[in-house]
Structure 1
């Protein structure tokens, strides 16, 4: 692979649900790159298209009526259009995924160790004894206490934090170059969340893996990610380096997400700002800017779909910078715009 070539290069990715009445675009022209040893945050509210994007990259949307188009190049190899047989050699071995709910992602009738053993044996010619030795080693590296005993337990016998660690161990069992983590800290207490994030940050150093971190928690992104892609209603709202995006967001939606984070310093607000309304259904997306019905800064120009433009260090799909308008100010907790 060329040293200048990104590990993952996604261009104009679209996921369309075809039907008898009309086609519904679930993910609309999403583009980004992810490099080796980097953590890219994919953020947005529930329903913004984060998980669908990840499943499209993994080739796990092989269902009637769902059409994936555009380009997903991994180490220069095009994945869109590959057969399921060819994709099975990529999944697990080169690209692995931590699914959102480890309780449902693990098969309940097999032990944790058996399932990790099988993931290893599916991609490598290795004995069951050697596979189990690696499984126990991985569980130990993930901070699982008494890994040999834990390997012989069933998913329902483990806490949420231990199941998540076991899921990460399975994902790393074949040393993948890219790890997709879909809401890895959901439903975990704060202490366990911090431990899981520490594990993800360590992947770039210990394994050299690139990480695509899917979350709705901007606090997690600030603590973990190098770059950020903000999705709204299946479309790109803003993307850029995490430091620049947090210092001066260019899209009103990004600003609203950041304003919803509780402040770490100063007086405790009586109530945090919230984004009025709900995200639109992909079947009833506005013809212009999808965020316009919820945006305090919407005006006549927002009836046209905004292009993605370069603004300072970011790319943003908003007319405010192009029209010379002042960018939306950050809203302090308790204030209204």
Structure 2
């Protein structure tokens, strides 16, 4: 595969579930790419389709009536429609995932070390002794104290931060090219969260991995990601280089998410702004812009579903830039 091609290229990915006798779209026409040794952030509120997008790429959606269309090329191989047998050769070895809750992602009746050992031995011709040595080394590389002892402990015997580190060690055990991290810092205190984010940033240098980071926290994106894609109600609202998106967001939803972050400089606000209302349920999406009922800039043009348009280095699904009314730039240090 040529080095100048994206490691992962997703085009018009759509996922729908059968409900009440009809196909209900959860993710609609989502497109993005992940380059080699790049960290791409997918951000949005709960229910925006972030995790469903990742699960579809990994071939982990097997619900009755699910329909997945579009394309997801990984190293030139099509993942949409790929058999589960073929996926088993990819998962863990080429593409790995850090799940939201390592407590439920790990099997509770086996030790941490046994589970990491097993993944290594499934994908590689290696002895038990060799697999255990690599497991202990990985746990140590992830900053786990006394890794040999930790390998012999069960998931419930570890703190949340140690379980997350062990989950990252398991995801990296076969040196995958792409790591999908689904809310890896959820429910962790700020100190442990900072340590986990440092680990993710170092993956590209230490392991040569690309990272697809799923989060609802724009602050995490600002600290970690090269590019960002904002999802709202299952559709792409904005995507582009993280620096450009933070400096001058093109979509009102992106601007509202950034406004909810405490500023690093300037006067301290007494109260942070919030976005009134909630995203519409999939069965109740409006025919036009899904964000229109919550948007301060809504007008007649918003009643038609907006297409992604170029806005500087970004792509934005909003009529404001095309009408010559872009959002004002954000102050330096505002996020």
Spell out the pairing of 1:43-192 with structure 2 (5 A cutoff).
43-192=43-192
Q: Distance in 2 between matches of 1:199 and 1:70?
A: 32
Query: Are 1:25 and 2:25 an aligned pair?
Result: yes
- The aligned residue for residue 335 of structure 1 is none
Q: Distance in 1 between matches of 2:329 and 2:94?
A: 42
- The aligned residue for residue 334 of structure 1 is none
Q: Distance in 2 between matches of 1:177 and 1:326?
A: 38
Q: TM-score, normalised by structure 1?
A: 0.96
- The aligned residue for residue 316 of structure 1 is 316
SS at match of 2:302: helix
SS at match of 1:173: coil
Q: Distance in 2 between matches of 1:42 and 1:241?
A: 12
Q: TM-score, normalised by structure 2?
A: 0.97
What's the Cα RMSD here? 1.3
Q: Distance in 2 between matches of 1:254 and 1:288?
A: 18
> Structure 2, unaligned stretches of length 5 or more?
none
Deviation >6 Å, runs of 4+: none
CA contact (8 A) 2:247 2:329 kept: no
Deviates more, 1:45-54 or 1:15-24: 15-24
CA contact (8 A) 1:259 1:330 kept: no
SS at match of 1:9: strand
SS at match of 1:322: coil
**What are the superposed Cα offsets for residues 266-298 of structure 1, whole Å, 9 maximum, x if unpaired?**
332211000000011111111100000000000
Q: Distance in 1 between matches of 2:214 and 2:43?
A: 6
Q: Distance in 2 between matches of 1:164 and 1:326?
A: 40
Q: Distance in 1 between matches of 2:326 and 2:12?
A: 29
Q: Deviation of residue 329 (structure 1)?
A: 6.5
**What are the superposed Cα offsets for residues 165-224 of structure 1, whole Å, 9 maximum, x if unpaired?**
000000000000000000001111111011100000000001110000000110110010
Q: Deviation of residue 328 (structure 1)?
A: 5.3
SS at match of 1:51: helix
Q: Distance in 2 between matches of 1:283 and 1:110?
A: 41
CA contact (8 A) 1:43 1:218 kept: yes
- The aligned residue for residue 206 of structure 2 is 206
Aligned length: 332
Q: Distance in 1 between matches of 2:77 and 2:22?
A: 32
Q: Distance in 2 between matches of 1:330 and 1:165?
A: 35
**What are the superposed Cα offsets for residues 213-256 of structure 1, whole Å, 9 maximum, x if unpaired?**
00011011001000000000000000000000000000000000
**What are the superposed Cα offsets for residues 141-175 of structure 1, whole Å, 9 maximum, x if unpaired?**
00000000000001011000000000000000000
Q: Distance in 1 between matches of 2:71 and 2:100?
A: 25
Q: Distance in 2 between matches of 1:302 and 1:287?
A: 9
SS at match of 1:167: helix
Q: Distance in 2 between matches of 1:69 and 1:12?
A: 8
Q: Distance in 1 between matches of 2:249 and 2:54?
A: 24
**What are the superposed Cα offsets for residues 13-55 of structure 1, whole Å, 9 maximum, x if unpaired?**
0001124522100000000000111000000011100000000
